[in-house]
Amino acid sequence: MNSLAVSSFAKINFGLRVLGRRNDGFHDIVTVFQTVSLADQLIFTLDDDLRLECSDKSLPTDRGNLIIKAAESLQKMAGLKVGASIRLQKNIPSPGGLGGGSSNAAVTLLALNKIWKLGCVYEDLYKVAASLGSDVPFFLIGGTAIGTGRGTEIEPLPDIRSTPMVLVTPNISVSTAAAFRALNHIGLTTDSAESILLNCRFEAANADLERISLENDFEKPVFKAHPEIERVKQRLLELGASEAALSGSGATVYGSFENEETRQTAMKALGNESDWRSFAVAAISRREYREALKEVF
């Protein structure tokens, strides 16, 4: 196999609680990850060197891109010099809180493991993924899962019952570092980590997308810094979303709808917002995720 085409799915966060700052400078979090149908497309072809082309010219194609970092890290772990030509069709807003870069990195590990015939097992790829970024290990699994620690410790959960969803990304770039600084300033949660983790498991295991309502600690500081993002959430609720919340540190807000008719009406109304990108999406279960990526699993 000299060439491979793979989808790279986005994620949303059902809640995100920040528990405190770690000694390594990162923060301990608790979140529920969920893969959704919005996806980038990647094509990998064997080559002598590492090369990346991207449809979005605003994104870097050198080591500033997690795809190249992932490929180089895999090369180093395997002790080889074989390369690849990689083409990225970017559909997931970046940045947006949807994990597009992390998803790209994880898919790169899976795809290059295949075409380079490395035979790495999950534990090998997990170590590389965790070194690349907080969300990357989740995309080696997909579906519904709890993320703890820096977000790299992944606990798969039963797939959540899906309902029609809409993602809305306003034309705003939210700095995750600035969001954490603002959160540190206003004070982190005082709830116990064990209590939050139990609540996350219960909510995710006993709810569908219409009713899940886990708190995102980033909403308060991000909405204060960017009122337009708060307006997105309020607009989704006005248009009939049964639940709406910030994903990650933003700027994307997701809304869950009771039926397809209500979602279609909302999508039509959202089309009047020229500075917002709107996507009708569905949750991707772990089985569906592995089926879509069966060439690399």
Helices (H), 226-296: 227-238, 260-270, 286-292
In three-state secondary structure terms, 57 is coil
- Residue 251, preceding peptide bond in cis (omega within 30° of 0): yes
CB crowding 117-156: b at 16 or more within 10 Å, else e: ebebeeebbbebbbebbbbbbbbbbbbbbbbbbbbbebee
Q: How far apart are CA 26 and CA 15, in angstroms?
A: 18
69 noted as active-site residue: no
- Return the sign of the alpha-carbon dihedral for residues 275, 13, 38, 241: negative
Q: Identify the CA nearest to 148 among candidates 285, 19, 12.
A: 19
Q: Identify the CA nearest to 113 among candidates 280, 295, 277.
A: 295
Q: Which of 40, 135, 159, 217 is catalytic?
A: 135
Q: Which of 11, 69, 90, 114 is catalytic?
A: 11
Cross-strand bridge partners of residue 255: 166, 244
How far are the Cα atoms of 87, 125, 284 from residue 27, in angstroms, in the given order? 33, 23, 28
Name 273's Cβ contacts closer than 8 Å, sequence gap at least 6.
168, 170, 235
76 noted as active-site residue: no
What residues are annotated to the active site? 11, 135
